[in-house]
Structure 1
Amino acid sequence: MNRLLSLLFHQGVLDEQFLQLQQLQDQTSPNFVSEVVTIYFHESEKQLRNLRSLLLDREMWDYVKLGIHLNQLMGSSSSIGAKRVRNICAAFRTAVEQNNRSACMRALEVLEHEYCYLKNKLHELFQIEQQRVLGDAVRYPGVVHQQ
């Protein structure tokens, strides 16, 4: 688990905000991080669908709406520490501000790729964590941990 986290930090996928999120997790909310990240993924997928839909609309290009969806995705990515996704959103927003449709399409492709990478790696991280917790329960059945 620590190796995977180190890799994600080294690659710039995550930043210190993710560590701050982890610090909020405790005995009273042992699944806090995975719950927050699950909400992030649910909302982000809506934002990505909206961005794709807006970009594929040949009749009307709504740069204002594109900017709104990007700002929402960028803000939620910042709040969980998804550094590379946030940075791609910023570059995407620059293309939107320049009314550069082809750059926006390329940015969307990069964003979707990076989002999928983040989602797969965090899913892997949570699986490792869940296995560790289950392993502890098997090793110490019936032991109540108090702090």
Structure 2
Amino acid sequence: MELAFHKAQLNSLVQSMFDAGILDSQFSQIQALQDDENPAFIAEVISSFCHDAERIIIELNKHLYASDQSHQNVDFSKMDGCLHQLKGSSSSIGANRMKLACCDLREASDEKNKSRSLQALNIVTREYCRLRGQFQTFLQLERRILMIEASQK
């Protein structure tokens, strides 16, 4: 009974993330790769994504905020690689709103518009924080489910 309850909670959480546009179908494909031989697969993917995303967001902040006092000298070419990586990993895990926020930041960066880039980076950061919070809840539920299943064997 407890197992069914937690599985229903997990399914409800994921569905709410789909409904809000936070996740797309790519996440379902990743979930489908998890099996009994690798029950921690999705947790590993999420943890890796979060670690990389945080590192990249810190780098992007450095590139935008470490410019001179005139606030105009930003090396947008350095941002390009970071953005490419963050957008790619967001897309790979199915983080739809993160991916879209990265596209907006990329446009601002391509325009070499620091003000718009700062606004877009704030949105990327906000979307990441929202996603990370949802993923943390997801991982807690996954752990509970795995513990219950292990105790029933």
| TM-score, normalised by the number of residues in structure 1 | 0.91
1:84 aligned partner, one-letter code: R
1:23 equivalenced with 2:36 (yes/no): no
Per the TM alignment, residue 136 of structure 1 is displaced from its structure 2 partner at its CA by 2.9
Give 1:49-128 correspondences, 5 Å limit.
49-59=58-68, 60-128=73-141
Name the count of aligned residue pairs. Answer: 140
Structure 2 counterpart of 1:136: 149
Runs of 4+ displaced beyond 2 Å: 135-138
- Which range moved further: 127-136 or 90-99? 127-136
- SS for the counterpart of 2:38 is coil
Q: Which runs of 5+ in 1 are unaligned?
A: none
Compare relative contact order (CA 8 Å, sep 6+) and give the higher one, 1 or 2.
2
Identity level (%)? 35
Structure 2 residue runs of 5 or longer lacking an equivalent are 1-9
* CA root-mean-square deviation: 1.0
